[in-house]
Chains A and B, each alone.
Chain A
């Protein structure tokens, strides 16, 4: 990979998405200082995200035309992988920003800063996916996490809800800080062993120091991805946090860390270590089984999605393991396919969860979240369109055809079959079957007749502030169905991103 060390004008141009995001944050801050207006801050934040997303997409387009991937100093790498995910993250963040506008619309408190925190977290996420150096990783990760603490604790002055969100914010703060510290220590150990903080050309080292460092790094990442046994915070934080913050945490927060993990893991020197692969295999199986089993008995939708996300991250690990298994027997084609399947899964997962949270958000408001699965009873008859969207998302998470979720699962299965990962496959088959139970429970609740006796089932008026959310959901649904029926264009994009980094 050609290295351009100095930050010249070209370098600045390459970092355009980051700069645009930073600009939006500064402008947003100034705007709040001049006068509070929830709508204006939302517009500033979303236009920043839109601009960053477009800039990322443009970079991706240029790379497909033959531009070489480049480094900006030793800290950032701008290749097809980072460009693709910068665009994806920025656009998803835009969706979350639109959702949070609707969600906090009636909050009797200062509402503008949430958009500011959201922009900050987004900047952290796109920094993380374009990092080539441990320093950048730390900066990106901390920017992401710090902003998330604030986002989770945001409705702190709003009555009964405040205690819950504060509780989950503190839980997340303490555990996340420990995870970050573990990760930092791991980086230090790796540095001590290899003498380098840039991880794209990490030199082979076999000392125990190096292994320990990798292990600690993995533990930190596993915490952020909520993999078993580092998953304990997930259901509580999901349950207590306000919906937009949780949607962000569940999608962008995880995707950004996962992209970093995939980038690190596809370094052959690391992905080939038997220590690493066996630990990851164990964690993958545990995550799939534990996540699905614990989700079975949940009656709270957010907790249910939390456990199911644990299982989904387990599936992602299966795809990652297939990369290394294929590389080990030097099946270049298979390893590329496994990498593509991992990226595809990640992308589809974030679309689906964003959609599911979006639906939950439309049924809720900042004062009263529709948290129980029972709150969705009869949704299909009360509000058929909204229910259809939720149906698509839930069936997608369950991996049923016609949705992108099926194609994603199909690819992971295929990658695992190609690399003879029989144990992992068995876990996936079993996990998906268990998963059907609780996804079907949501579906079934929606199909139940509405109870006339219960007042609380009266459908909330979908006010004008929700129009944006409806648009976001429409886009997501079309995307999920489109990819589910005709995935070829997305395959091409992903294949390019997988080959160009």
Chain B
């Protein structure tokens, strides 16, 4: 029931925010803020209810009959893993509202409506364990995000919004077909229809068919992650989305892909996934290195950060396909840390664009003197993104590499090179934007520094990253139970892994 509350708060909060615009255009943002803040209460309750030694798989589970004739139930449940991700969603929800606070001036009510509904969809994705319900949320969260990009986006928003929608929808349909096949096999084997996670886990599919179904799941999730070669929608979507949209996209929506891989793809298809591991690791390494290289060639600051996002998400893919506890812990940690650091970097880029009306780094330079607070904040998050020990990103990427080292030394070695390139581009951005001489052609006299509201938001994210870096166990403990169960349940995977 408590899970339903989170969804309902966001759902009705969104409607209320939209309608409240009629009375006062400042009302929607307050309503949105309170709604998202309100979702923290059930989360804290859930966190307190977490018991690492508990026998039951889920902290809480909520189940109601929905479409009995197709064996579909409305089932929500959280364990440590989903709790972490839902927590991230709520936290970044607050951040994105903060980022939009002053920036958003047009059609405010509808904006916050879409923001909250995106959050509701994402929370649904992280908590649904009936696969029909999961797919439902998976698709539903796209529409408000599409609106955010298409209405409040920048110069090329139509192209970006359509591309974003098409990529995810098309691969979503592959997911749907694979899912339906899986359900159909379940029905053949057990004699009744069910979309329940636990039931589908028992389904046995073998041979080429398993690989086919696994690919359907993998492609859908790898597009969202995104991984090369399905990543090309991301730089467009990010560079065109408004700041709050970028924050949500980078911070939360990308994580749904990784979550899908961990929760569904590998557990459902252990043998096919084991066979597929070399390919997945190769894709991860290519994502890390190639996108880091491409990032270096960008002059648009948001596109640059978008490519680095893909590069960092490569570590997540790497950790997942290591499929041991350490690798998975690394993937989850990277997801959380990257959620914060990427959200912060996109906010900064959005802040620059809001002030200068350009994203072109060639027109920037020497801003340290003009906006010292902003420069320091940017330095902090750049350093976090490049994997400085003591901050969350380091823990995540280090664990991912450690995990994958036991599976493939080559993949670990090559991926580690990505961390070097990461330092190069992070420092290069700092140099291009904040140091050096000021660009004489552009007029930057009107570059106000961060105000207190913005500072507060960044401070929150900084604290988050430091806590993750210094006390990673608080997070690792929460997800270890789930991840251990997942990685050990797939014996076949381990068997194939050892024989290699």
A interface with B by C-beta (< 8 Å): 381, 395, 400-402, 406, 410, 413-414, 417-418, 425, 429, 432-433, 436-437, 440, 443-444, 447, 486-488, 491-492, 495
Our pick among A418, A433, A491, A492 for the contact of B169 (Cβ within 8 Å) is: A433
Q: Which residues of chain B are within 8 angstroms of A447 by Cβ–Cβ distance?
A: 147, 150-151
A-B residue pairs in contact (CB < 8 Å), sample of 17 = A400-B143, A401-B140, A410-B176, A413-B177, A413-B180, A414-B183, A417-B177, A417-B184, A429-B173, A429-B174, A429-B177, A433-B169, A440-B146, A486-B67, A488-B67, A488-B69, A491-B67
Could you tell me the distance between the alpha carbons of A436 and B69 in the complex, rounded to whole angstroms? 29
Q: In the bound complex, do residue A402 and residue B173 qualify as a contact, i.e. CB atoms below 8 Å apart?
A: no
Our pick among A429, A437, A443, A492 for the contact of B166 (Cβ within 8 Å) is: A437
Q: Which of B28-75 contact A (CB under 8 A)?
A: 66-70
What's the A-B contact tally at a CB cutoff of 8 Å? 67
Per CB-CB distance, the 5 closest pairs between chain A and chain B, nearest first, are: A433-B170, A417-B180, A401-B139, A429-B173, A401-B136
Could you tell me the distance between the alpha carbons of A495 and B70 in the complex, rounded to whole angstroms? 12
Question: Is B407 at the interface (CB under 8 A from chain A)?
Answer: no
Closest to A410 in B: B176
- Minimal beta-carbon separation of A60 from chain B (angstroms): 18
Q: In the bound complex, do residue B166 and residue A433 qualify as a contact, i.e. CB atoms below 8 Å apart?
A: yes
Q: Which of B171-187 contact A (CB under 8 A)?
A: 173-174, 176-177, 180-181, 183-184
Could you tell me the distance between the alpha carbons of A400 and B136 in the complex, rounded to whole angstroms? 9
Closest to B180 in A: A417
Q: Which residues of chain A are within 8 angstroms of B485 by Cβ–Cβ distance?
A: none
B interface with A by C-beta (< 8 Å): 66-70, 107, 135-136, 139-140, 143, 146-147, 150-151, 158, 161-162, 165-166, 169-170, 173-174, 176-177, 180-181, 183-184
Our pick among B147, B173, B180, B181 for the contact of A433 (Cβ within 8 Å) is: B173
Our pick among A395, A414, A418 for the contact of B143 (Cβ within 8 Å) is: A395
Closest to A406 in B: B139
Known contacts A433-B170, A444-B150, A447-B147; decide if A400 and B69 are in contact (CB<8 Å).
Answer: no
Known contacts A401-B140, A413-B180, A444-B150; decide if A495 and B166 are in contact (CB<8 Å).
Answer: no
Q: Which residues of chain A are within 8 angstroms of B184 by Cβ–Cβ distance?
A: 414, 417-418
Closest to B182 in A: A417
Our pick among A400, A425, A436, A488 for the contact of B68 (Cβ within 8 Å) is: A488
Could you tell me the distance between the alpha carbons of A486 and B65 in the complex, rounded to whole angstroms? 11
Q: Which residues of chain A are within 8 angstroms of B69 by Cβ–Cβ distance?
A: 488, 491-492, 495
Known contacts A413-B177, A444-B150; decide if A487 and B162 are in contact (CB<8 Å).
Answer: no
Q: Which residues of chain A are within 8 angstroms of B67 by Cβ–Cβ distance?
A: 486-488, 491
Known contacts A437-B162, A444-B158, A491-B67; decide if A432 and B140 are in contact (CB<8 Å).
Answer: no
Could you tell me the distance between the alpha carbons of A120 and B469 in the complex, rounded to whole angstroms? 76
Q: Which residues of chain A are within 8 angstroms of B183 by Cβ–Cβ distance?
A: 414
Q: Which residues of chain A are within 8 angstroms of B158 by Cβ–Cβ distance?
A: 444
Q: In the bound complex, do residue A440 and residue B177 qualify as a contact, i.e. CB atoms below 8 Å apart?
A: no
Q: Which residues of chain B are within 8 angstroms of A443 by Cβ–Cβ distance?
A: 146, 150
Q: In the bound complex, do residue B166 and residue A436 qualify as a contact, i.e. CB atoms below 8 Å apart?
A: yes
- Minimal beta-carbon separation of B207 from chain A (angstroms): 15
Closest to A411 in B: B70
Closest to B135 in A: A401
Could you tell me the distance between the alpha carbons of A436 and B168 in the complex, rounded to whole angstroms? 11
Q: Which residues of chain A are within 8 angstroms of B150 by Cβ–Cβ distance?
A: 443-444, 447
- Minimal beta-carbon separation of A412 from chain B (angstroms): 11
Could you tell me the distance between the alpha carbons of A487 and B136 in the complex, rounded to whole angstroms? 14
Could you tell me the distance between the alpha carbons of A444 and B160 in the complex, rounded to whole angstroms? 12
Q: In the bound complex, do residue B170 and residue A440 qualify as a contact, i.e. CB atoms below 8 Å apart?
A: no
Q: Which residues of chain B are within 8 angstroms of A401 by Cβ–Cβ distance?
A: 135-136, 139-140
Could you tell me the distance between the alpha carbons of A398 and B173 in the complex, rounded to whole angstroms? 12
Could you tell me the distance between the alpha carbons of A400 and B174 in the complex, rounded to whole angstroms? 14
Our pick among B70, B140, B165 for the contact of A440 (Cβ within 8 Å) is: B165
Q: Which residues of chain A are within 8 angstroms of B70 by Cβ–Cβ distance?
A: 414, 491
Closest to A484 in B: B136
Q: In the bound complex, do residue B107 and residue A381 qualify as a contact, i.e. CB atoms below 8 Å apart?
A: yes
Q: Which residues of chain B are within 8 angstroms of A429 by Cβ–Cβ distance?
A: 170, 173-174, 177
Could you tell me the distance between the alpha carbons of A422 and B67 in the complex, rounded to whole angstroms? 26
- Minimal beta-carbon separation of B203 from chain A (angstroms): 14
Could you tell me the distance between the alpha carbons of A406 and B169 in the complex, rounded to whole angstroms? 12
Q: Which residues of chain B are within 8 angstroms of A495 by Cβ–Cβ distance?
A: 69
Q: Which residues of chain B are within 8 angstroms of A381 by Cβ–Cβ distance?
A: 107
- Minimal beta-carbon separation of B492 from chain A (angstroms): 25
Could you tell me the distance between the alpha carbons of A492 and B67 in the complex, rounded to whole angstroms? 10
Closest to A398 in B: B169
- Minimal beta-carbon separation of A288 from chain B (angstroms): 13
Closest to B176 in A: A413
Closest to B170 in A: A433
Closest to B69 in A: A491
Could you tell me the distance between the alpha carbons of A425 and B184 in the complex, rounded to whole angstroms? 15
Could you tell me the distance between the alpha carbons of A406 and B176 in the complex, rounded to whole angstroms? 11
Could you tell me the distance between the alpha carbons of A288 and B392 in the complex, rounded to whole angstroms? 49
Could you tell me the distance between the alpha carbons of A12 and B20 in the complex, rounded to whole angstroms? 57
Could you tell me the distance between the alpha carbons of A406 and B173 in the complex, rounded to whole angstroms? 11
Our pick among B68, B143, B162 for the contact of A444 (Cβ within 8 Å) is: B162
Closest to B18 in A: A384
Q: In the bound complex, do residue B181 and residue A417 qualify as a contact, i.e. CB atoms below 8 Å apart?
A: yes
Could you tell me the distance between the alpha carbons of A444 and B169 in the complex, rounded to whole angstroms? 16
Q: Which residues of chain B are within 8 angstroms of A418 by Cβ–Cβ distance?
A: 184
Tell which of B69, B135, B161 has the most Cβ of chain A within 10 Å: B69
Known contacts A417-B184, A492-B69, A495-B69; decide if A432 and B173 are in contact (CB<8 Å).
Answer: yes
Tell which of B66, B70, B139 has the most Cβ of chain A within 10 Å: B70
Q: Which residues of chain B are within 8 angstroms of A488 by Cβ–Cβ distance?
A: 66-69
Our pick among B135, B136, B169, B181 for the contact of A436 (Cβ within 8 Å) is: B169
Could you tell me the distance between the alpha carbons of A413 and B177 in the complex, rounded to whole angstroms? 7
Q: Which residues of chain B are within 8 angstroms of A437 by Cβ–Cβ distance?
A: 162, 166
Q: Which residues of chain A are within 8 angstroms of B66 by Cβ–Cβ distance?
A: 486, 488
Could you tell me the distance between the alpha carbons of A75 and B143 in the complex, rounded to whole angstroms? 49
Could you tell me the distance between the alpha carbons of A447 and B66 in the complex, rounded to whole angstroms? 33
Q: Which residues of chain A are within 8 angstroms of B181 by Cβ–Cβ distance?
A: 417
- Minimal beta-carbon separation of B155 from chain A (angstroms): 14
Closest to B142 in A: A400
Could you tell me the distance between the alpha carbons of A93 and B282 in the complex, rounded to whole angstroms? 59
Q: Which residues of chain B are within 8 angstroms of A444 by Cβ–Cβ distance?
A: 150, 158, 161-162
Q: Which residues of chain A are within 8 angstroms of B147 by Cβ–Cβ distance?
A: 447
- Minimal beta-carbon separation of B111 from chain A (angstroms): 12
Could you tell me the distance between the alpha carbons of A432 and B181 in the complex, rounded to whole angstroms? 19
Could you tell me the distance between the alpha carbons of A414 and B158 in the complex, rounded to whole angstroms? 33
